[in-house]
Structure 1
Amino acid sequence: MYTPLAGKIALVTGAGSGIGRAHCELLAARGAAVIVNDLHEDGAQETVARVRAAGGQALACIADVARSASVAQAFAAAQQQLGAVDILVNNAGIPGGMKPLEDIDEAAIDAMLAVTVKGAMLCTQAVLPGMKQRRGGRIINTASITAYGTHRNVSAYAAAKGAIISLTRAWAREFAEWNILVNAVAPGRVQTPMSAELSANPEYAREVQLRVPLARRAQPAEIASVVAFLASPDADYMTGQVLGPNGGEVM
C-alpha cells in the first residue's frame, strides 16, 4: 500500500460532502490521520465514518470557518485529540449561483468573501504557528477555473477564487523560510452535490460537451488526487503553484 503521508495530520475544511470528502478519503488512504471540518455535523460525521470504514483515522471538527472564535476553539480541540496539523486543505466554499452583477445583493457578496477568503485566512492563522514551530507544513487552497474568466454571471464566486490564487502566491513567499509550502488547485467543472442544480440543466450539459476537450465533468476523486500529490513528498520543490485539473478547458 502506498502511504507517503503516514504519520501526518491533515485538516480539510468543508469536508462534509463532495470534493472535501474525497480529499479526506484519499489523504487517509495515503496514510494521514484526517480532521474533518464542516459547518454541518451530519456531513462531517458521515465522512468520518467512511474514512474509518476504509481503515483510516478521522475526527470530526465542527466549525464555521468564517468566524475566528469558532475556528480557534474547534481547531485547537481537534489538534489536542489527534495531533498538530501538518497539512491544511482550505476547501470550504459556498455556491454563488449564476447571476448578473446587478442581481447579486450585498449579503451574497459578504457571504461569498467571508467563507472563501476570510475562511481560508482564519484557518491558516489557526495552524500556522505550529507549522512554523516545526519548520514545515503544507497548505493547499481550493481556487477555481472561474478565476480565469471562463464563465459568465459568476463575478462574486470568481472574485473570491481569484483572491485565493493571490493568497496562495503571497503565502508561498511569506512562509518559505519555514519550509511551509503553499499551493492551490483550480478545478474545472466537477460533479458534486453543490453543482446539482447545474447537473439538471440540459444547456449546461451541452456547454460541457462544447467547451471541455475531455467532454465531461470531473469526479471529486480526480481533484483529490491532485491535492494528495501536493501534500506528498513528491511535491517537495513546489510552492506558489496553481494546478488546474479542468479537462483541458483552460490550457
Structure 2
Amino acid sequence: MKSLEGRVALVTGAGSGIGRSDALVLAERGAVLIVNDFDPTAADETVAQIVGAGGRAVPCVGDVGDAGAITEAIDAVRQQVGEIDILVNNAGISGRQQAFDAISDADLTRMFQVHVMGSWYCTRAVLPGMKARRRGKIINTSSILGMSGRKRSSHYAGAKAALIGLTKAWAKEFAEWNIQVNAVAPGRVRTPILGAFAHSEVYRRDLQANVPLQRRGEPEEVAWLVAFLASDEADYITGQVISPNGGEVI
C-alpha cells in the first residue's frame, strides 16, 4: 500500500526506537524520507535499512535543539529531495527520574530545548513550504506522561505536555492553509531506552497491574498510527492527541 507515494517526510530522532520505526513505515508507504538524528552513524543505519528495502532516504544530521544547525541541515537536504510534506517531531531525550528539587536548571533547560524548542525550530523550517502548497501534516510525539504526569519526572512530563499544547494551538492556527497537526502520546513501548529494567520482575508486575492489555507496545504500532495521520485518510483529523498505551490511560 503506497498511500504516501510522492510525499517527502522528515522524521526527527529517526536513528533508533520509535523514530526509526516511523521512518521505516513511512518509507514502506511510499514517502521519500529525510532521516534526522544527532548521531550520524544512527542516521546512516536507518537510511541503509530504507534503501535496502527499496525506498529512498537521505540523512539529515543535526541537533534539533540548536536552531541554527537544524535549520541549516533541513535547508541543505531539502535541496536534494524537495519541499517537505510531512514532519514528525519525534526527537527526544528521556532523562533520569528525579525528585523536583533534584532537577537542575541545566537538565530542565535541555529537556525543553530538545522536545519543545526542537519541535518549534523544525516546524518553523518546514512551514513556509507547506503554506505555499496549502498542504501539510505535522505529527508531534508526546507521551502518556504528558497526559497523566508522574512523580519524579516533572521535567519530562512538563515538556511532553507542552507539546500537546503546541499541537492544539498549531492545529487552529495552520488550518487555513490545510495543514493538519496532531500528536501521538505513546505509553510503554519496547525500545532500548529502558534497558535491563524492562526485563525485571518489578517492571513486569507493574505492567500487569497498570496496563489492561498486559504488554508493552511495539514501535511499529506507534508508526502505523503516525503513517495514518500522515495520509490523506486523516485529512479531517487535526488538533487531536491519540495515545497508543494499551489502556493504561483512558
TM category, shorter: over 0.9
**Corresponding residue of 1:217:** 216
1:200 CA displacement: 4.3
Counterpart code for 1:160:
A
Q: Secondary structure at the match of 2:30?
A: coil
Whole-Å Cα distance in 2 between the matches of residues 74 and 144 of structure 1? Answer: 27
* 1:28 corresponds to: 27
1:152 counterpart letter in structure 2: K
TM-score computed with the length of structure 2 as normaliser? 0.98
Residue 44 of structure 2 is matched in structure 1 by 45
CA drift at 1:197: 5.0
Quote the residue 2:64 is aligned against: 65
2:93 is paired with a residue of what secondary structure?
A: coil
CA RMSD of aligned residues (A): 1.0
Identity, % of aligned positions: 54
Q: Tell me, which stretches of 5 or more residues in structure 2 are unaligned?
A: none
Give, in angstroms, the shift of residue 100 of structure 1: 1.2
Partner Cα distance (1:133, 1:202) in 2: 53
Aligned residue runs from structure 1 range 8-23, under 5 A: 8-23=7-22
Partner Cα distance (1:150, 1:68) in 2: 28
> Any residues of structure 2 matched to 1:1-251 within 5 Å, and which?
2-251=1-250
Q: How many residues in Structure 1 have an aligned counterpart in Structure 2?
A: 250
CA distance in 1, matches of 2:77, 2:218: 29
1:237 aligned partner, one-letter code? Y
Give 3-state SS (helix, strand or coil) of 1:183's partner: strand
- Tell me, yes or no, if the aligned pair for 2:8 and 2:32 is still in contact at 8 Å: yes
Judged with a 3 Å threshold, the aligned counterparts in structure 2 of structure 1 residues 208 and 151 are, in CA distance, closer, same or farther, namely farther
Structure 1, residues 176-224: CA drift from partner, whole Å, max 9, x if none?
0000100000000011122225414431221111100011111100100
Residues 200 and 101 of structure 1: CA distance in aligned 2, closer, same or farther (over 3 Å)? farther
**1:85 match: secondary structure:** coil
CA distance in 1, matches of 2:199, 2:110: 25
The runs of at least 4 aligned residues of structure 1 exceeding 6 Å deviation read none
Separation (CA, whole Å) in 2 of partners of 1:198 and 1:157: 19
The one-letter code of the counterpart of 2:97 is: M
C-alpha deviation, 1:150, in angstroms: 4.9
Paired with 2:140 and 2:196, the residues of 1 have a C-alpha distance of 25
Q: Following the alignment from structure 1 to structure 2, what is the Cα–Cα distance between the partners of residues 224 and 44?
A: 17
Q: Contact conserved, 2:17 with 2:191, CA < 8 A, in 1?
A: yes
Distance 1:136 1:65 in 2: 23
Q: Which moved more, 1:187-196 or 1:87-96?
A: 187-196
What letter matches 2:190 in structure 1?
Q
State the one-letter code of the partner of 1:228.
A
Cα separation, 1, equivalents of 2:193 and 2:131: 34
TM-score (norm 1): 0.97
Q: CA deviation at 1:139?
A: 0.2
CA distance in 1, matches of 2:81, 2:58: 8
Distance change in 2, residues 1:202/1:229 (3 Å): same
Deviations 1:127-177 (A, max 9, x none): 000000111100000000001225331111000000000000000000000
Contact in 1 for aligned 2:149/2:157 (Cα 8 Å): no
Task: Give 1:49 shift.
Answer: 0.4
